[in-house]
Structure 1
Amino acid sequence: MKRKLLLPERLMLGDGTAPFNGVYAIRINGVITAAGLSVALAKVQAKHPLLRAAVRNDATGAPWFELPAVHQPIPLIIKERTTSVDWQQEVRDAWASVFNLEAGPLINLTWLKGDAQSELILTFHHSMCDGGGGLMLVRELLAVADDPEKEIGIHPSFTTLEDIVPAHILHGKKEIFKAKLKALFIKGALASISAFVSTRGRQPISRQQDYLLHWKLDRQVSAALFQYCATKEVTVNTALCVAFLSAFKQVKGAKALNKIICPVDIRRFIPEITKDVIFSFGLSLELSLNHAQDVSFWERARLLQTVASQKIKKMNPYAFMLPFEYAHSGIKYMRKFLTYGKPVYDLMFSNMGKLDIPEQYQTFAVDTIFSPTVIGPFSNPTTIITSTYKGQIDFSFVSNYQVLDYQDALAIKEKAMALLTEELPVQAPEAALSSII
């Protein structure tokens, strides 16, 4: 069984030497065992073919997901936990880890083992799995670790384009013509742009220069923000976009690009990609702010909400996916531009929303699910991901010293949180906005 990688998957895979990993960290209170985790990993791997796959190139150099005759089990790495912040270093190490693509699998689990409290660090290659898929894997792993007899089902084969794109679109003459025409434009534009991008004497940014900021809003402030956004008729996602873009402008001044890229879960548009199917990429929403001095924060939020809603309504996942499948020959231009070109946005931002993971299991409880992180080899790795668990909004802010100074990142975080909470009917205590150290 094998499947050719789609172009966005190839883009994230690169040549296999540079990591592009997604990471989930989960804090557990109570009893977990190596035997229980091994059973959970085996059962989850048996369900999802991609968790057994390796990546191998054909005669033309194109990569394929392929199931080896004998697959390797998902590695379980056990380390002793000494402090409550060990997980942060493990996450940073996970960003820099390189999977053995030809052997597989493109996933592993680290258990930071403590007496009463532990962390699980799930790392996967982004070319195989996105944040939504990672959350599903966390849910399944915890369920089986708690109850080894639990049935989670089996997916018999890889998800292909034929599985998720209606036949009349995938094979329609009109749709194919449009897709090929758009692919020609994409390749031509990228070839022209990349011609002005020099690689002489330049190296991709170093993973050793990456950093992580993590913090939470407490339950009271989180609840107040949810309620206030509802009264203003904007989503929390939009309010957060306004806060971070405004903070970038305040901190970076003329160097701020006033552009934020928000991944949109493709599962919202393609029902065949269900919540228990691994998929690696989604759609993207590009937003900018009206920075006029006489526009208030919440008026900006309402204006941006209108724009975001209109853009999401017009999204067409098939019109996004199909042209790329006729543009594989342009991938070298895409990689060159994304790796060595100047950044064209301030940050990527993703809000995972409320995480549907149980808090209490039979032998353990979930203390915290830290918002996931992802980082790749491209010229701007700055990414903020938020999620809500147990009523608290959690933030992971990832960047690199070569791209965004650490002190600037701290200032952006503080200014964004101040803007977001200054009109709330509760006073945000300092502890609610502080990093967990």
Structure 2
Amino acid sequence: MSSEPEIERKLSPSEKFHWVIDRESRINFVMHAAVSGILQEQTIRTALDIIQRRHPLLRVCIMRTWRGSLRFKSGDIRAIPVRVVGAPAGVCPSGADNPGFVPEDKWVEEAEREINTPFKSEECPLARCVLIRHGDTKTTVLLTVHHSIGDGKAGAFLMRDLFRAASKVQKGESAGLPGLPPRMDMTAYFPGWAKGISGRLRYIRFGLRVLSAMVRWGAPAMPLVDRKAPVRMRRACIVAKTLNAATVAKLHKRARIEKTTLHGALIASQILAVVHERGSAKELAFIIGSPVNLRARLDPPVEDDLGLFITVGISINRAGFSTDFWQLAREVRQSLLECVERGDPFVYVMMHNDLSAVAGLFGSGGVGARVYTAIAGKLHLGGLAFSNIGRVDIAADHDSFVVESLGFAASASGLAVLVPFVATTDTVTTWNFVGMEPLISREHTARIADKACKILIDAI
């Protein structure tokens, strides 16, 4: 890949945020896709080489300068590694784990392993792949990415490009994809009002709105904690749920009638599941952060590049046993809509600037990272979040194989206790609940996930 352009630039505050948090407890994200048909290991390796040439940030590591600043840098570019889990009886590919085909739910265990296993950020690439063989024509593909170089939406673009390239390789066609130019960090594309004094004033008003809600309604609710543990001892577990296309269509239709969205309905089901779990007789306050994709709102807009182009929107709501589901879904939608219209997601990144300034007083070593993570957890209100990348534009039928489903999950590190991750294709919506053990056990996460699903289905 010596012909590819070299990359070297300073990490943005948001990219640095994910790098520092990851030092205390992993914050990787993993994309997963269920594939039927013929998908060869060498095909995936070749397709990975193609997308690595296309996306500049798949060719970087993160280096610290002698002054302590962090920079993306390309140099010793290695291929994206592939690990194979499962193989036909008597066949064990190089690097394979657990010879013999494995059950289809094995992907959950392997995805957990991936999001809880650190990258060596000073080594390139900051991505890796796992092929899980369930049978001759059944495979799950996992693609794990360091959160400093991308987000869930970017991961969906990577999977789309990966399968496009793989399809061309297996058909013997020219498989190259156009290379994308290196991008500056997203703040370089922010509107002027989101920067400087204007942006700072908006950020202050944003913070005051959150504080005002907490004064009026009390501290935000979160799932009951099973066992406390320092951030560095936490581990993400995944409880996977799905909604078929027919159910999603019914939900969309009902949501339109109720003047809300599927996104609002999913968050409402999460809130009410926690309300029932806590068993409180009074209404509880909920402050839930949802990643907001800024790509189309940047100047100029960014399309399908790998990179960190999200910030967070906040919904502030109250709910109790008697709360009407669809009314809550409308209120969630309205709260998020107002947040985005005010431009809160643009100024939210100033928190990352402030974190760096405060934590920097404690040095750039382990103590500074722990202080940084502790403050970040408090500022994120440490309980609930929700991530939905919406409908994923990915072709299902690639002739020799079919992409049956696509989803994602990430470790919440020290930022949250429970986070559902949602992605939708033409055939299925994946709904992965990630709990941070031991704060919330796998069984506890499953109970909340089951309750949320029941609440949502009963509301149709």
How far, CA to CA, are the matches of 2:347 and 2:156 in structure 1? 27
How far, CA to CA, are the matches of 2:451 and 2:350 in structure 1? 41
Q: CA deviation at 1:57?
A: 0.5
**What is the CA deviation profile of residues 333-385 of structure 1, one whole-angstrom value per residue up to 9, with x for unaligned ones?**
5423235x59725321122222211110021111222x200004315242101
How far, CA to CA, are the matches of 2:335 and 2:413 in structure 1? 30
Give the secondary-structure state (helix, strand or coil) at the position aligned to 2:440.
coil
8 Å contact kept, 2:285–2:317 = no
* Amino acid paired to 2:34: R
Partner of 1:314: 342
Partner of 1:218: 244
Partner of 1:378: 414
**4+ residue runs of structure 1 moved beyond 6 angstroms?**
180-186
Summarize the alignment of residues 44-83 of structure 1 with structure 2, pairs less than 5 Å apart: 44-68=51-75, 70-80=76-86, 81-83=101-103
For the structure 1 residues 264 and 165, does the alpha-carbon distance in structure 2 shift closer, same or farther, using more than 3 Å as the test?
A: closer
For the structure 1 residues 357 and 60, does the alpha-carbon distance in structure 2 shift closer, same or farther, using more than 3 Å as the test?
A: same
Among candidates 428, 448, 457, match of residue 392 of structure 1: 428
Q: Does 1:156 align with 2:181?
A: yes
For the structure 1 residues 249 and 115, does the alpha-carbon distance in structure 2 shift closer, same or farther, using more than 3 Å as the test?
A: same
* Amino acid paired to 1:298: W
Summarize the alignment of residues 64-103 of structure 1 with structure 2, pairs less than 5 Å apart: 64-68=71-75, 70-80=76-86, 81-103=101-123
Q: Which moved more, 1:301-310 or 1:394-403?
A: 301-310
Q: CA deviation at 1:319?
A: 3.4
TM-score w.r.t. length of structure 2: 0.79
8 Å contact kept, 2:294–2:309 = yes
Q: CA deviation at 1:22?
A: 0.5
Q: Does 1:14 align with 2:42?
A: no
Among candidates 154, 157, 161, match of residue 133 of structure 1: 154
8 Å contact kept, 1:24–1:122 = yes
Q: Does 1:275 align with 2:314?
A: no
8 Å contact kept, 1:9–1:281 = no
How far, CA to CA, are the matches of 2:26 and 2:123 in structure 1? 16
Q: CA deviation at 1:393?
A: 2.5
Q: CA deviation at 1:330?
A: 2.5
8 Å contact kept, 2:386–2:420 = yes
Q: CA deviation at 1:78?
A: 2.0
How far, CA to CA, are the matches of 2:204 and 2:306 in structure 1? 30
For the structure 1 residues 181 and 146, does the alpha-carbon distance in structure 2 shift closer, same or farther, using more than 3 Å as the test?
A: same
Q: CA deviation at 1:102?
A: 1.4
Q: CA deviation at 1:156?
A: 3.2
TM-score w.r.t. length of structure 1: 0.83
Q: Does 1:206 align with 2:226?
A: no
How far, CA to CA, are the matches of 2:304 and 2:142 in structure 1? 20
Give the secondary-structure state (helix, strand or coil) at the position aligned to 1:97.
coil
Q: Does 1:245 align with 2:271?
A: yes
Root-mean-square deviation (CA, aligned residues, Å) is: 3.0
Gaps of 5+ in 1: 187-200, 425-437
8 Å contact kept, 2:263–2:333 = no
Partner of 2:326: 298
Q: CA deviation at 1:294?
A: 5.5
* Amino acid paired to 2:392: L
For the structure 1 residues 292 and 26, does the alpha-carbon distance in structure 2 shift closer, same or farther, using more than 3 Å as the test?
A: closer
Q: CA deviation at 1:277?
A: 1.1
How far, CA to CA, are the matches of 2:62 and 2:424 in structure 1? 34
Q: CA deviation at 1:269?
A: 1.6
Q: Which moved more, 1:15-24 or 1:354-363?
A: 15-24
Q: CA deviation at 1:273?
A: 4.8
**What is the CA deviation profile of residues 295-354 of structure 1, one whole-angstrom value per residue up to 9, with x for unaligned ones?**
422122223332222222112555344675576323445423235x59725321122222
Q: Which moved more, 1:82-91 or 1:410-419?
A: 410-419
How far, CA to CA, are the matches of 2:258 and 2:22 in structure 1? 46
8 Å contact kept, 1:260–1:345 = no
Q: Which moved more, 1:230-239 or 1:287-296?
A: 287-296
How far, CA to CA, are the matches of 1:161 and 1:58 in structure 2? 22
Q: CA deviation at 1:40?
A: 1.0
How far, CA to CA, are the matches of 2:182 and 2:84 in structure 1? 31
Q: CA deviation at 1:215?
A: 1.3
Give the secondary-structure state (helix, strand or coil) at the position aligned to 1:143.
helix
8 Å contact kept, 1:182–1:323 = no
Partner of 2:136: 115
8 Å contact kept, 1:21–1:126 = yes
How far, CA to CA, are the matches of 1:41 and 1:292 in structure 2? 48
